Chain A
């Protein structure tokens, strides 16, 4: 049996026995086969000694059990690593940041406490998946939508705590921002509620976020200051209709104007659905179409494919001439709208009018439908854009004629950059040069960012995990260099796997790492024994600080 570092075998045995008394023997996992379920299937240290592996796991079913486990962990100084359902593959999965931690697995805490249709919110426990919540809403025929990531297999709470995003309207896509109220078990085992939830018998816990005094919800995301056991989320009232269309333009130089227009339309809420950027000419699919590309392949001609080889930093006069000759747009913005048909048609027309200021733009309606759709027709759409959790994303990366050598997994490289056309061009120039020098399979072609967040762009690129340790080592080191190079240009990752959290946090270094030092000060005050999720986002307890690499 594995034992947490710094903990004696006898203390560990006593702690496990105490855990068994709290949750029942069947919910404490110590066999290698059971604990291996918590390994990161996409670990960039796959099969190497540095892979981060748990010592055991414990799965409570009530908040009181969580509190009791935390008290026992304090007594025996057992490091716990909290997961909800552990599905964030590419960002670490369910493996701990600190090897030897006991995984505190909350997936049995799967109660949907309330879905309020009139005020469009829900309260859920951490083990509730997007599928669970969607099914509940469908079964009860409630007129609200969830906003889910793609794939939609994870935990609603877990995705928000890791600051994931989705695909419906702007005010729901940022999952942490769309939460309202938390219940948290603190590192000493005490229970706390945030916002209006701090009022006993609160009447507006899910209706007003900040309560009074410092609003502290943010410190519990991407951190190790507490264990969230309940969380509220605002839901989207089921819209009457959906419209999605494309705006295309022919010239590379129109990119900045396209982005500026998109920003204006979004910031004015003329369009609020998930916007998507693609380039038919450069062969770059928008996020919502990637799975179709991997399922069906490209429609590009051989001549078109050959001309792609002439592209440098996104530009090629020959390719642009080819595009104009064959009416293949250089840029394509996908806009989507939810609401009453007469409203979204007007929003679409206003969007066309604004984009028409760019010479030669073409508009096309792709989908226009009343809602709800027939469930049998869901696969005709990118389901998450209709609030439907799906698993089709797994066609991405699977071996197919269009992806003949799939990897064993991936680690997401996901820097945030400004929402300008020039930033897209600059980031491509910087990262493609660096990736070539580092022999990394990223930015090999001109790459477009995603538009999950309202005010910034985000690149999301899969760095392969292979079966070859030497290749994985090269990619790990290259990944860290790309993080640092991004930092030199003012760009930072929004989220990363534990292996890279030190490198990412190191970029956020203003005034001698004042922010990180504040995080450590908080850790020391809140969790003096350092029992909660040691090392998460490089926040180490005092006794382990500086001893990890």
Chain B
């Protein structure tokens, strides 16, 4: 939870960041990431989740190659993602379980790829969802704005991440956005995360 700015939005906006987290945020912004704009040409989804399928549908419409899994990432990693990362190419976006992202993130280090944006979709107590955004400015900012706009977040995030990482700046943004959207039962049981991983 370090280097995150906690900003709650909804009916009202209230800054909840403690002094220490604000200090850490300033430290983060003073040391911008070295990555610049990136192009995403591949999307990874977990077919078990309604939200993930919606994410993939839009990503595919936007021209991304769609890769699917059902819980176990072994075959996808071994047969497709590992050779894909070894060969370079554009960045990869996804909406999967957090366990799957942990796995991909750790394995991607073998190719010095890193997660540049992640948005955790945490079920909230009232049946709503809390989006914890940590990523490249513009894409992350637009993601927050899109979620506040009340459209279906899964499809909207695919559109936002694939469109705005092309012009994202290197600085990182961290924020939390509360959303009245209802998660599917599967996504409440096993929270999802949207992500972009890049060389």
Which residue numbers of A lie inside 8 Å of B, CB to CB?
29, 31-34, 37, 41, 46-47, 85-87, 89, 94, 107, 129, 131, 135, 151, 153, 295, 379, 383, 389-392, 394-395, 397-401, 467
What would 7 more interface pairs be, CB under 8 Å, given A31-B34, A153-B103, A394-B102? A34-B112, A86-B109, A87-B106, A389-B74, A390-B72, A399-B189, A467-B1
> Would you call B35 an interface residue if the criterion is a C-beta within 8 Å of the partner chain's C-beta atoms?
yes
8 Å CB contacts to A: which residues of B79-129? 82, 97-100, 102-103, 105-107, 109-110, 112, 114
Q: Is B191 positioned at the interface, with any CB of A under 8 Å from its CB?
A: yes
Do A153 and B106 form a contact, CB below 8 Å, given A33-B34, A394-B99? yes
How would you classify the secondary structure of chain A's contact residues: helix, strand, loop or mixed? loop
Contact of B191 among A46, A390, A399 (CB under 8 A): A399
Given A295-B71, A391-B74, A37 and B112 contact (CB-CB distance below 8 Å): yes
In the complex, are the beta carbons of B102 and A391 less than 8 A apart?
no
Bound CA–CA A153/B82 (angstroms): 11
The answer on a CB contact under 8 Å between B189 and A395 is no
The total of chain B residues at the interface (CB under 8 A) is: 29
A85 adjacent to B110 (CB under 8 Å): yes
Residues of A within 8 A of B77 (CB): 131, 391
> At the interface, yes or no: B2 with Cβ under 8 Å from chain A?
yes
Q: Which of B20-36 contact A (CB under 8 A)?
A: 31, 33-35
Residues on B with beta carbons closer than 8 Å to the beta carbon of A33:
33-35, 114
Cβ-based interface call for B155 (8 A) = no
Instruction: Please determine whether A392 and B74 come into contact, CB atoms closer than 8 angstroms.
Output: yes
Contacts between chains A and B (CB distance < 8 A), count: 69
Residues of A within 8 A of B35 (CB): 33
A295 to B191, CA, bound (A): 15
* Interface pairs (8), CB distance under 8 Å: A29-B112, A33-B114, A87-B106, A89-B106, A295-B71, A392-B71, A394-B99, A395-B99
For A89, the chain B residues whose CB sits under 8 A away are 106
Instruction: Report the bound CA distance from A212 to B99 in whole Å.
Output: 48
Q: Give the residues in chain A near B34, CB-CB below 8 Å.
A: 31, 33-34
Residues B190 and A400 in contact, CB atoms below 8 Å apart: yes
Closest A residue, CB atoms, query B172: A33
Least CB distance from A286 to B in Å reads 20
A195 vs chain B, min Cβ distance (A): 29
Residue B73 CB within 8 A of the other chain: yes
> In this complex, which of A135, A391, A400 has the most chain B Cβ atoms within 10 angstroms of its Cβ?
A391
> B110 — which chain A residues lie within 8 A by C-beta?
85, 107, 129
Interface code B154-175, partner A: CB below 8 Å = 1, 0 otherwise? 0000000000000000000000
CA distance A401 to B100 in the complex (A): 17
Q: Which residue of chain A lies nearest to B102 when distances are taken between CB atoms in the complex?
A: A394
- CB within 8 Å of A: which residues of B? 1-2, 31, 33-35, 71-74, 77-78, 82, 97-100, 102-103, 105-107, 109-110, 112, 114, 189-191
**Docked complex Cα distance between A291 and B191 (Å):** 18
CA–CA, A370 and B82, complex, Å: 30
Q: Write the chain A residue with the least CB distance to B123.
A: A399
Q: Are B109 and A37 in contact (CB under 8 A)?
A: yes
Within the complex, the shortest CB–CB distance from A255 to chain B, in Å, comes to 34
Closest A residue, CB atoms, query B76:
A391
**How distant is the Cα of A391 from the Cα of B78 in the complex, in angstroms?**
10
CB <8 Å contact, B99 and A135: no
* A399 contacts B106, C-beta separation under 8 Å: no
Shortest Cβ gap from B46 to chain A (Å): 12
CA A46 to CA B2, docked complex, whole Å? 9
Give the complex CA separation of A400 and B189 in angstroms. 5
Given contacts A391-B72, A394-B73, contact A399 B103 (CB under 8 A): no
Q: B1: which A residues are within 8 A, CB to CB? A: 47, 467
Q: Which residues of B contact A390 (CB under 8 A)?
A: 72, 74
With a cutoff of 8 Å between Cβ atoms, the chain A residues found around residue B33 in the complex are: 33
Given the complex, which residues of B lie within 8 Å of A34, measured CB to CB? 34, 112
Measured CB to CB, the nearest residue on chain B to A409 is B102
Please, which residues of chain B bring their CB within 8 A of the CB of A391?
Answer: 72-74, 77, 103
Residues of A within 8 A of B99 (CB): 394-395, 397-398
Q: Which residues of A contact B73 (CB under 8 A)?
A: 391, 394
Q: Separation in Å of the B26 CB from the closest CB of chain A? A: 15
Determine the chain A residues whose CB is within 8 A of the CB of B189 once the complex forms: 399-401
> Which single member of B72, B103, B105 contacts A379 (CB below 8 Å)?
B72
Q: Is the CB of A392 within 8 A of B191?
A: no
Q: Which of B2, B71, B107 contacts A153 (CB 8 A)?
A: B107
Q: Measured between alpha carbons, how far is A390 from B107 in the docked complex, in Å?
A: 12
Q: Which 10 A-B pairs have the closest CB atoms?
A: A398-B99, A47-B2, A391-B74, A394-B99, A394-B103, A33-B33, A467-B1, A392-B72, A390-B74, A31-B34
Instruction: Output the least CB separation between B135 and chain A (Å).
Output: 13
Q: In this complex, which of A33, A107, A390, A400 has the most chain B Cβ atoms within 10 angstroms of its Cβ? A: A33
Q: Contact check: which of B82, B114, B190 meets A131 at CB < 8 Å?
A: B82
A32-B102 contact, Cβ under 8 Å, with A37-B112, A392-B74, A400-B189: no
Q: Which residue of B lies closest to A27 (CB)?
A: B112
Within the assembled complex, what's the spacing in Å between the Cα atoms of A163 and B1? Answer: 33
Closest to B2 in A: A47
In the complex, which residues of chain A have a beta carbon less than 8 angstroms from the beta carbon of B78? 131, 135, 389
Give the distance in Å from the alpha carbon of A41 to the alpha carbon of B104 in the complex: 13
A57 (CB) vs chain B CBs: closest residue: B112
- Closest CB in chain A relative to B129 CB, distance in Å: 14
A467 to B6 CA separation, bound complex (whole angstroms): 15
Q: For the complex, what is the distance from the CA of A41 to the CA of B115, rounded to whole Å?
A: 13
CA distance A314 to B118 in the complex (A): 43
Cross-chain contact A398 with B74 (CB below 8 angstroms): no
Question: Could you tell me the distance in whole angstroms from the C-beta of B71 to the nearest C-beta in chain A?
Answer: 7
Return B176 CB to nearest CB of chain A, in Å: 14
Residue of A nearest to B34 (CB): A31
When C-beta atoms are compared, the residue in chain A nearest to B73 turns out to be A391
